[in-house]
């Protein structure tokens, strides 16, 4: 195990991953695929909290949103995360996984209000908890929201699911000679301007000694493999 005795995980998924082969929106097959991966890990006894981005919906609306101020745009993004969270909850519950959506924005018909102690209690009872609505405040990314929620619920690690198996010195999708890092410090991520998370999120991890595990969510058995070896991931601590 990379993180010794890791039991409570915070999984960060980008909204774009839920669009599958589409340019934007929600792809039912992608939702089903990721729900199965999450349930498989949950069935092994891990407690799982999830934060999902909203880029698959927000970017699809960006043309209409041109000229809108930053605050309004950020609230649109928060609403997009709620839509994604409810969609993933539906896919997980179809597989028999007891799941709760908790939102930083009040939307009681769809989600419980986010309360830290209640979220922790859901996890202790074996429920998957999807934390939506970002931080509930504009100017913060969903990466920062994920780190904040992970620290609040005392998660052992934040696992950032991407389309590559870790952090590279340059984009491996564009450069065949890109070199993968197995381990990095928070300082190295900041100094080398590696595009792992935004600076606020990385700084929050550093200040709270909260490790980041970057891995390829699309690979078979990806979450288990990422936890077991840096062959399948990059650990930042």
> Which neighbouring-strand residues pair with 160?
12, 214
State the maximum Cα–Cα separation within the chain, in Å, rounded to a whole number: 50
The number of beta carbons lying within 10 Å of the beta carbon of residue 59 is 17
Beta strands 233-236 and 212-216: pairing type?
antiparallel
Put simply, whether the predicted model's pTM sits higher than 0.75 gets the answer yes
Which residues are within 8 A (CB) of 111 and not within 5 positions of it... i.e. 6 or more apart? Answer: 82, 85, 86, 101, 102, 103, 132, 133
pLDDT, tens digit (0-9, with 9 covering 90-100), for 86-143: 999 999 999 999 999 999 999 999 999 999 999 999 999 999 999 999 999 999 999 9
Banded model confidence at residue 55, pLDDT cuts 50, 70, 90? very high
In the numeric block, the tokens 């590559």 are attached to 164
User: What is 8-236's CATH topology?
Assistant: Carbamate kinase (3.40.1160)
Query: What CA–CA distances, in Å, run from 58 to 17, 62, 83, 90, 98?
Result: 13, 6, 11, 20, 28
């Amino acid at each position: 195990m990379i993180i010794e005795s890791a039991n409570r995980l915070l999984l960060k998924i980008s909204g774009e991953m839920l669009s599958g082969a589409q340019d934007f929106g929600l792809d039912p097959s992608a939702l089903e695929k990721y729900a199965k991966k999450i349930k498989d890990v949950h069935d092994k006894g891990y407690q799982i909290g999830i934060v999902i981005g909203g880029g698959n919906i927000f970017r699809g609306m960006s043309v209409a949103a041109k000229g809108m101020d930053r605050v309004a745009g950020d609230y649109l993004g928060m609403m997009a995360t709620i839509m994604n969270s409810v969609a993933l909850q539906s896919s997980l519950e179809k597989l028999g996984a007891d799941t709760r959506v908790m939102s930083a924005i009040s939307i009681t018909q769809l989600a419980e209000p986010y309360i830290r102690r209640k979220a922790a209690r859901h996890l202790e009872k074996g429920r998957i908890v999807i934390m939506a609505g970002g931080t509930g405040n504009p100017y913060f990314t969903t990466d920062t929201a994920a780190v904040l929620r992970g620290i609040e619920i005392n998660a052992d690690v934040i696992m950032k699911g991407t389309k590559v198996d870790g952090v590279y010195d340059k984009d491996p999708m564009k450069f065949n000679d890109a070199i993968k890092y197995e381990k990095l410090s928070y300082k190295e991520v900041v100094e080398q301007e590696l595009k792992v998370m935004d600076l606020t999120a990385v700084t929050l991890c550093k200040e709270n000694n909260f490790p980041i595990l970057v891995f390829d969510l699309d690979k078979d058995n990806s979450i288990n493999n990422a936890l077991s070896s840096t062959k399948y991931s990059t650990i930042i601590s």
